[in-house]
Chains A and B, each alone.
Chain A
Amino acid sequence: MSDQKIEKMTVADKLYRTKYEPDAAHPHIVVDQSVCANCREKVCLVVCPAEVYKADPNDPNKVAVSHENCLECGTCRKACPFDGIKWLYPDGGKGVKYRFG
């Protein structure tokens, strides 16, 4: 591991230290872009601790989802006021795999 200072790490830096069993072929999060297109607040962009949700760089009305970074807390699911996020558990053994927890 690098001797990067514990202060001022980006979320991407932090997630790099967390262990995952990736499952790129089976996204466990699917957002309904027709819902997102009509949503101005996009609370998912704010509340996700892993910054899984970003404004789509090609179309700011859309939401880009990096499901492989998901920490599986479920916060987005509770926060979206329009039920626009279809969130399932990843397949057995896949997804985040806490070593400390």
Chain B
Amino acid sequence: MADADRVKVDAIVVGGGPAGLSAAHTMASAGLETIVIERGEYAGAKNVGGLVYGTVLNRMIPNFFEHAPVERSVARRELIFLGAGEHVRLTFGAEEWARPPFNHTFIVHRSQFDRWFARQVEAAGATLLEGTVAEALLYDTAGGARQAVGVRVRGDEEFFANVVVLADGANALVTEQARRELPLAPGRVKQEYAVGVKEIIALPRGRIEDRFNLAGNEGAALDFFGVPFEGIIGGGFLYTARETIHLGFAARIESLRHAGIGPSQVMERFKEHPLVRRYIEGGELQEYSAHMIPEGGFNAIGALAGNGVMIAGDAAGFVNMSLYKEGTNHAMETGRAAGETAAEARKCGDFSARGLAGYERRVRGGVAYADLRRYRKVPEVLESSPNLLSLYPRKVNRLLVEFFTLTDSPKRAQQRKAIRNFLRGLPKFRFIRDLIRARHLA
């Protein structure tokens, strides 16, 4: 391509999800000429999710929830431990969560939400190239070390820029290749992945509100543990949208492999539990989706920036798999930090790794980094204490049920029997150790 025909801008973003769009919004707002390359026909076409935490987005687009396509705000959360036919539930909610800013927790359809976000990014001045597949980075090796100078897209077109933000998500082909080529240091441990599977189930609005005891636009977010997920490292979720329910689970890929059980079988097991079955009864399936989640946490995060490159969001591994299950918020925070760093680098005219060092500094001073660090033991605890998610929920369910099961014997005898049954087959030393370890999860 002749130099005169070269398309060159300040910044290229690979991926139009929360991380990439936040980077683009920040850069375009700072006056940088910015292109977003998105492989889907529209931003969100390839994305799956249900819960969005919006503290970072609310800083970028104040009161975004007044305009964005949010389905419901989360006024109630539930942790549900499933036995074979029993359940134990911990419910908590607050009136204040039902009022702005709604505890910054929303249930969305990501395909619609991301598309809305993309339009805001365009309004801020960025150009979106949807339906375009980024294939690889382009490099300049004149200075000795490789410096990323642009992106080659499918069809052999080339786009040049001073800096590239890689935000290609969990299934990050471009980031993985760039890490090898530049090269960028990997994390201390290999990244671990879970696969999430979800069904969108339509029900009339009134039935959802009655079934889940919701008023107006209030929603509920339910997390499930226990018997349907026995033998694998994973758990389920249910989010109430306006006229649909998101029902799904996520499980470590390696654990599915070891158990020899497929995601669709786990999903059916989950749906067969009487509690879950009643929640979705009479509903109609609208969509079946799947997406990976990087679950390695803090120790799996590698170098975040190199010559001409910054990596943000899922592509960099910023997912907190503790009970908070936070991903989109961290994607937005790291994306914004990359955008701020690009604007700073343009002022100095230095887009080398040194010029982009501010990215790592910003991330290290932020919430995502602090939280991933705080929950760095989650992957290890889930692997080494599988009973937390299966045997103990089963045992606790039986204990409570037997305590309150009426028989002809006196209560004292009945309760003793319940406790005896609870202790039978319980690895006591390990039980105490696991309970102590569980503090890393919450």
Interface residues of A (CB under 8 A from B): 1, 3-4, 6-9, 11, 13-15, 17-19, 21, 43, 46-51, 71-75, 77-79, 87-93, 95-101
A residues near B260, Cβ cutoff 8 Å: 46
Contact between chains at B39 and A101 (CB < 8 Å)? no
Interchain CA distance A43-B195 in the complex, whole Å: 14
If A1-B284, A100-B200 touch, does A93 touch B40 (CB 8 Å cutoff)? Answer: yes
Contact between chains at B110 and A74 (CB < 8 Å)? no
Q: Is B36 an interface residue (CB 8 A)?
A: no
Please pick, from A9, A50, A78, A99, the residue contacting B290 in the complex, using a CB distance under 8 A. A50
Interchain CA distance A12-B112 in the complex, whole Å: 25
If A7-B272, A73-B291, A75-B292 touch, does A47 touch B262 (CB 8 Å cutoff)? Answer: yes
Contact between chains at B284 and A51 (CB < 8 Å)? no
Q: Is B338 an interface residue (CB 8 A)?
A: no
Contact between chains at A46 and B257 (CB < 8 Å)? yes
Proximity bits, B154-175, A CB within 8 Å = 1, else 0: 1000000000000000110100
Interchain CA distance A14-B256 in the complex, whole Å: 20
B residues near A91, Cβ cutoff 8 Å: 133, 154
Contact between chains at A100 and B284 (CB < 8 Å)? no
Interchain CA distance A101-B116 in the complex, whole Å: 14
Contact between chains at A47 and B195 (CB < 8 Å)? yes
Please pick, from A75, A87, A93, the residue contacting B131 in the complex, using a CB distance under 8 A. A93
Contact between chains at A17 and B285 (CB < 8 Å)? yes
A residues near B196, Cβ cutoff 8 Å: 73
Contact between chains at B253 and A78 (CB < 8 Å)? yes
Proximity bits, B255-294, A CB within 8 Å = 1, else 0: 0110011111000100110000100111111111111100
Complex A-B, nearest 3 residue pairs according to Cβ-Cβ distance, in ascending order: A74-B171, A101-B111, A93-B131
Most buried by B among A46, A49, A89: A49
Contact between chains at B257 and A98 (CB < 8 Å)? no
If A46-B261, A51-B264, A100-B111 touch, does A71 touch B289 (CB 8 Å cutoff)? Answer: yes
Interchain CA distance A18-B369 in the complex, whole Å: 36
Contact between chains at A101 and B289 (CB < 8 Å)? yes
If A73-B171, A75-B292 touch, does A93 touch B130 (CB 8 Å cutoff)? Answer: yes
Chain B, range 107-158, C-beta contacts under 8 Å to A: 109-112, 114, 130-133, 154
Proximity bits, B237-259, A CB within 8 Å = 1, else 0: 00000001000000001001100
Contact between chains at B263 and A78 (CB < 8 Å)? no
**How many residues does chain B have at the interface if contact means C-beta atoms less than 8 Å apart?**
55
Interchain CA distance A48-B292 in the complex, whole Å: 11
B residues near A71, Cβ cutoff 8 Å: 288-291
Q: Is B181 an interface residue (CB 8 A)?
A: no
Interchain CA distance A100-B286 in the complex, whole Å: 8
A residues near B218, Cβ cutoff 8 Å: none
Give min CB distance, A40 to chain B, whole Å.
13
A residues near B48, Cβ cutoff 8 Å: 98, 101
Interface residues of B (CB under 8 A from A): 39-41, 44-49, 109-112, 114, 130-133, 154, 170-171, 173, 193, 195-197, 199-201, 244, 253, 256-257, 260-264, 268, 271-272, 277, 280-292
A to B CB contacts below 8 Å, 21 in the list:
A7-B280, A19-B287, A47-B253, A47-B256, A47-B257, A48-B262, A78-B193, A78-B292, A79-B253, A89-B173, A91-B133, A93-B40, A97-B41, A98-B44, A98-B48, A98-B110, A100-B111, A100-B244, A101-B44, A101-B109, A101-B112
If A6-B281, A18-B289, A75-B292 touch, does A101 touch B49 (CB 8 Å cutoff)? Answer: yes
B residues near A100, Cβ cutoff 8 Å: 109-112, 200, 244, 286-287, 289
B residues near A43, Cβ cutoff 8 Å: 257
B residues near A17, Cβ cutoff 8 Å: 285-288
Contact between chains at B41 and A21 (CB < 8 Å)? yes
Contact between chains at B285 and A46 (CB < 8 Å)? no
Contact between chains at A14 and B133 (CB < 8 Å)? no
Interchain CA distance A52-B351 in the complex, whole Å: 42
B residues near A8, Cβ cutoff 8 Å: 268
Minimal Cβ-Cβ distance residue in B for A7: B271
A residues near B283, Cβ cutoff 8 Å: 6
Given A19-B287, A101-B114, 8 more contacts at CB 8 Å? A6-B282, A7-B272, A14-B264, A92-B133, A95-B46, A100-B109, A101-B109, A101-B110
Minimal Cβ-Cβ distance residue in B for A88: B173
B residues near A6, Cβ cutoff 8 Å: 201, 271, 280-285
Contact between chains at A49 and B171 (CB < 8 Å)? no
If A46-B261, A93-B41 touch, does A75 touch B193 (CB 8 Å cutoff)? Answer: yes
Interchain CA distance A100-B41 in the complex, whole Å: 14
